[in-house]
Chain A
Amino acid sequence: GENVEQHPSTLSVQEGDSAVIKCTYSDSASNYFPWYKQELGKRPQLIIDIRSNVGEKKDQRIAVTLNKTAKHFSLHITETQPEDSAVYFCAASTHGQNFVFGPGTRLSVLP
């Protein structure tokens, strides 16, 4: 079955700097890769996603890149703000069903 790894487990950056979180997956059949943000005590929420027919996608300060050959994808947050502090989970799935989540990255943005 699918296995998703995520690094780093914790990340601290200064406000205004960029943050990058990387995930790898094992199943070459996976074709949909969402990212979730979970603030303390709240539910995970979808922030951006990418499909295997696209190499990069941007939404304001957030971008995701996908390398199908290497089976890895990354989340990039630019101009980080304190409200970006949260746990971020990547996931991989085939046709949007039964996602496998990474273990999460705790991002702290220091003022």
Chain B
Amino acid sequence: GAGVSQSPSNKVTEKGKDVELRCDPISGHTALYWYRQRLGQGLEFLIYFQGNSAPDKSGLPSDRFSAERTGESVSTLTIQRTQQEDSAVYLCASSPAGQGRRGYTFGSGTRLTVV
């Protein structure tokens, strides 16, 4: 597609439920990133996928968080047993990666509210 697509755009869930967030990167972008942004806060790195390499999961805050990506396509971020502190906007970004490339392109995010 023309840009990074994320769905749903908004999600309200009850505490304790599982949620799945989806990111469809720009075609041909080998790198895909998930960030969390709490209200009025900065960009908190969660996980990074680069092609078929093992993902960098160093930013995942707990074992309730997991993400998958098949090849260079769609990625899903799953949060199990959601807690109120999980409420945030979850941003996905993709990049062609590699030297000489320009920056990330961000999706519009999924606003998650845990009630």
The interface size bin for chain A is: 10 to 19
> Quick one: given A46-B102, A96-B100, are A89 and B107 in contact (CB under 8 Å)?
no
| Interchain nearest-CB distance for A88 vs B (Å) | 11
CA distance A36 to B105 in the complex (A): 10
Q: Which residues of A contact B33 (CB under 8 A)?
A: 98-99
Q: Which residues of B contact A89 (CB under 8 A)?
A: 42-43
Interface of B is mostly: loop
Q: Which residues of A contact B96 (CB under 8 A)?
A: 96
Interface of A is mostly: strand
Fill in one digit per residue for B76-115: 1 if any A CB lies within 8 Å of its CB, else 0.
0000000000000001000111111111111111000000
**A residues in contact (CB < 8 Å) with B:** 34, 36, 42-46, 49, 89, 95-104
